[in-house]
Chain A
Amino acid sequence: MSTPVTTSVPAAPAEDSGRAKSAPRLRRAKAHRPGRPKRSKLLTALTSLVVLYTVAPLIWLAVNATKTQSGLGDSNGLWFADDFALWDNIHDTFTYHDGVFTRWLLNTLLYVVLGAGGATLLAVLGGYALAKFDFPGKRGIFATVIGAVAVPGTALAVPTFLMFSKMGLTDTPWAVVIPSLVSPFGLYLMWVFATEAIPTELLEAARMDGASEARTFFQVALPLLAPGIVTVLLFTTVATWNNYFLPLIMLKDPEWYPLTLGLSAWNSQAETVGGEVIFNLVITGSLITILPLIAAFLFLQKYWQSGLAAGSVKE
């Protein structure tokens, strides 16, 4: 697996710049440490055990995605079956029930663009406000957010459903998108990040020049927040992509299902009278579901890691 960050240069450029802008009270950490310690084979071996643990199930998934329904029954789960049916399975996954899987994939993308995008936008705006403004009610906001999140969501599902139903939102994409717009973790991350990354003097200077608040935000603050935004975007994307319970309650029409719900419906098809058993497509579909996220993590890792770094330094 190749990654854009090489091992010999621990701090990628983006990471470096992200840190350079971070808190004034921290002295800048240098990219290279003097007397870099020797590499340890023992430590590498031990860490490899953890990798084995995290990756083995994914390999199992990939191996079993190559099997037919009867191959799943006949063969050992640890290794390939006689027939290599991966391409057939992928083909079947996308064509089963008139290609409804594609529809679910597109729905998921829609929810991610609107939900995760919107959540990131709201978190960036909110975090910026908490970091750089003093306003009435500010102290109460975050405590309320934390308190609300501590209440188990399953019990709130029915009240939320009834409210949304009255507003005519159930069985529409909005029933999934609107609740996704709130990311308390994103708000927290942006708050901390904005505090560190945007020197207040810079904002003052922009205001002195007569820039409006909106203009100051977009032209001065936003560029400085970029690594943090990527981080929040990735986390909200994961949350939206993996969203299961709320869509389960809100959506009846399979036309609007996200992938998680669709896969679960396929899986439970085996539990119904006369239902076609398609565990092979469930497994292949699961594999296809996680690939885009893994790809996104790989390609964007230098950004999100630097954003997270600034976020976690705060105490």
Chain B
Amino acid sequence: MTTLQPPVAAEPRPAPPPARRDRRSWTGWGFIGPFVAVFALVFLAPIVYSIYLSLFRDQLIGGTTFVGFDNYEQALQDDRFWAALGRVALFLCIQVPIMLGIALLVALALDSGRLYGKSFFRITIFLPYAVPAVVATLMWGFMYGTKYGLVGDFNSAFGWSLPDPLSPDLVLASIGNIVTWEFVGYNMLIFYSALRVIPHSLYEAAEIDGAGQWRVVTAIKLPAIRGALVIATIFSIIGSFQLFNEPNILRPLARNAITTDYTPNFYTYSLSFSGQQHNYSATVAIIMGLITMVVAYLVQLRGMRKGA
């Protein structure tokens, strides 16, 4: 869903138990050094460079001038930016619960041991994760066609008149569908793995109390995998806020519905690549990064506090 890397894990708030006092030394750097060095080169340096760029303005005519925080002022009053942010927020509020809900239900079904052919389900539902976003979107794009795609085929085969999935009213839902398809198995697997390692003694206790299946789910399973739920939610928030690949690849099929400022990330892309407005693009990206961090942090605080 994101462009550079797989979604990242949650902040390590419940940090691993501290290592022993006497080993506090620089030895650890010998191990983490290489990671930090490459990370500094490919993440930190461009970010620092972007922050620097965000203080300037360059023009086709007239060159570059220092403008202080003017770009930030402009971005905070930029309707296009806020509209894009609103769109991904809506996406986040609808698509993420649906995706995580399906993933959780499937994970619980798998874990319940009541399915025939469990490993078949586990692997087939996970498969879409292996499909590159480029291929997934091309594929769905072909299928969304109302004339010759799958939608068109259904219409002509059954005499239906399904609405155009790429019309302005539906295109966000269609993008949501692609994202859900790509990541439902991935999230299912995270939940399922968490369920698999719930200490068995808890179930035995529940059995003695005569708790039913549903009670076991709500009282034992869900609280036990709360960490996994929070992690998956945070991945999904970052993914939603950075939504880009899917609308970008789908745009040639729906140019009027998917505008060049459709999502914040798409907006920074257009600013930078169509408009050559690198400075303003960097500004919007930094603001977006800050917003993402704050939201992710709040979700984590809330998720961890609840019932703790």
Show the binding face of A for B, using Cβ within 8 Å: 1, 3, 5-7, 10-11, 15, 19, 22, 26-30, 33-41, 43-44, 46-48, 50-51, 53-55, 57-58, 60-61, 64, 73, 76-78, 121-123, 125-126, 128-138, 141-160, 162-163, 178-179, 181-189, 191-192, 195, 200, 213, 217, 235-236, 238-239, 241-242, 244-246, 259-260, 263-264, 267, 271, 282-283, 286, 289-290, 293-294, 297-298, 301, 305, 308-315
Q: Does B124 make an interface contact (CB < 8 A)?
A: yes
**Complex A-B: 25 CB contacts under 8 Å:** A1-B123, A33-B200, A35-B207, A37-B213, A43-B115, A50-B102, A58-B128, A129-B28, A132-B28, A135-B29, A151-B50, A152-B242, A152-B244, A153-B2, A156-B43, A163-B46, A179-B4, A179-B42, A184-B8, A187-B9, A238-B6, A246-B3, A289-B132, A305-B193, A311-B193
Q: How far does the alpha carbon of A175 sit from the alpha carbon of B195 in the complex, in Å? A: 40
Q: How far does the alpha carbon of A121 sit from the alpha carbon of B12 in the complex, in Å? A: 20
B185 and A54 contact, CB distance less than 8 A: yes
Q: Which residue of B lies closest to A124 (CB)?
A: B31
Q: How far does the alpha carbon of A3 sit from the alpha carbon of B120 in the complex, in Å? A: 7
Q: Does B49 make an interface contact (CB < 8 A)?
A: yes
Q: How far is the CB of B65 from chain A (nearest CB, A)?
A: 19
Q: How far is the CB of B98 from chain A (nearest CB, A)?
A: 12
Show the binding face of B for A, using Cβ within 8 Å: 2-12, 14, 16-21, 23-32, 34-36, 38-39, 41-47, 49-50, 53, 102, 106, 109-110, 112-136, 138-140, 142-143, 148-150, 152-153, 156-157, 181, 184-185, 189-190, 193-194, 196-201, 203-204, 207, 213, 225-228, 230-231, 238, 241-242, 244-245, 249, 252, 264-266, 268-269, 271-273, 278, 281-282, 284-286, 288-290, 292-293, 296, 304
- Residue of A125, A138, A159, A245 touching B50 (CB-CB under 8 A): A159
B contact residues around A242 at 8 Å (CB): 131-134
Q: How far is the CB of B208 from chain A (nearest CB, A)?
A: 12
Q: A50-B102, A55-B124, A297-B123 are in contact. Are A148 and B43 (CB under 8 A)?
A: yes
Q: How far is the CB of B146 from chain A (nearest CB, A)?
A: 12
Interface class of chain A by DSSP: helix
B272 and A33 contact, CB distance less than 8 A: no
Q: How far does the alpha carbon of A11 sit from the alpha carbon of B124 in the complex, in Å? A: 19
Q: A22-B197, A77-B148, A148-B43 are in contact. Are A153 and B3 (CB under 8 A)?
A: yes
B32 and A126 contact, CB distance less than 8 A: yes
A contact residues around B198 at 8 Å (CB): 29
B123 and A301 contact, CB distance less than 8 A: yes
Q: A37-B213, A200-B19 are in contact. Are A153 and B127 (CB under 8 A)?
A: no
Q: How far does the alpha carbon of A156 sit from the alpha carbon of B119 in the complex, in Å? A: 41
Q: A3-B119, A57-B143, A149-B5 are in contact. Are A155 and B285 (CB under 8 A)?
A: yes
- Residue of B156, B181, B282 touching A53 (CB-CB under 8 A): B181
- Residue of A149, A213, A238 touching B238 (CB-CB under 8 A): A149
A155 and B284 contact, CB distance less than 8 A: yes
Q: A1-B123, A29-B199, A29-B200 are in contact. Are A245 and B194 (CB under 8 A)?
A: no
Nearest 6 interchain pairs by C-beta: A188-B9, A155-B285, A133-B28, A315-B227, A151-B289, A135-B28
A185 and B7 contact, CB distance less than 8 A: yes
Q: How far does the alpha carbon of A127 sit from the alpha carbon of B28 in the complex, in Å? A: 10
A contact residues around B12 at 8 Å (CB): 130, 142, 188, 191
B19 and A132 contact, CB distance less than 8 A: yes
B5 and A185 contact, CB distance less than 8 A: yes
Q: A267-B138, A297-B123 are in contact. Are A134 and B20 (CB under 8 A)?
A: yes
A contact residues around B102 at 8 Å (CB): 50
Q: A242-B133, A286-B138, A308-B189 are in contact. Are A150 and B201 (CB under 8 A)?
A: no
Other A-B pairs, 19, CB within 8 Å; known A47-B115, A244-B134: A29-B196, A29-B198, A33-B203, A35-B207, A50-B106, A57-B139, A136-B24, A150-B292, A154-B269, A155-B272, A156-B43, A184-B8, A185-B7, A188-B9, A282-B138, A308-B189, A312-B227, A312-B231, A315-B226
Q: How far does the alpha carbon of A296 sit from the alpha carbon of B271 in the complex, in Å? A: 39
B contact residues around A259 at 8 Å (CB): 132
Q: Which residue of A lies closest to B276 (CB)?
A: A158
Q: How far does the alpha carbon of A131 sit from the alpha carbon of B39 in the complex, in Å? A: 19
Q: How far does the alpha carbon of A53 sit from the alpha carbon of B49 in the complex, in Å? A: 43
Q: How far is the CB of B143 from chain A (nearest CB, A)?
A: 6
Q: How far does the alpha carbon of A77 sit from the alpha carbon of B143 in the complex, in Å? A: 8
Q: How far does the alpha carbon of A216 sit from the alpha carbon of B276 in the complex, in Å? A: 52
A19 and B116 contact, CB distance less than 8 A: no
Q: A185-B6, A238-B129 are in contact. Are A158 and B18 (CB under 8 A)?
A: no
B contact residues around A130 at 8 Å (CB): 12, 16, 28, 32
A153 and B119 contact, CB distance less than 8 A: no
A155 and B42 contact, CB distance less than 8 A: no
A181 and B228 contact, CB distance less than 8 A: no
Q: How far does the alpha carbon of A286 sit from the alpha carbon of B133 in the complex, in Å? A: 11
A290 and B286 contact, CB distance less than 8 A: no
B contact residues around A121 at 8 Å (CB): 34
Q: How far does the alpha carbon of A144 sit from the alpha carbon of B8 in the complex, in Å? A: 12
Q: Which residue of A lies closest to B36 (CB)?
A: A141
Q: How far does the alpha carbon of A38 sit from the alpha carbon of B12 in the complex, in Å? A: 39
- Residue of A54, A137, A153, A195 touching B4 (CB-CB under 8 A): A153
Q: How far does the alpha carbon of A130 sit from the alpha carbon of B15 in the complex, in Å? A: 10
Q: A155-B269, A309-B196 are in contact. Are A33 and B113 (CB under 8 A)?
A: yes
Q: Which residue of A lies closest to B293 (CB)?
A: A150
A contact residues around B43 at 8 Å (CB): 145, 148-149, 156, 182
Q: Which residue of B lies closest to A144 (CB)?
A: B44
A contact residues around B20 at 8 Å (CB): 134, 200
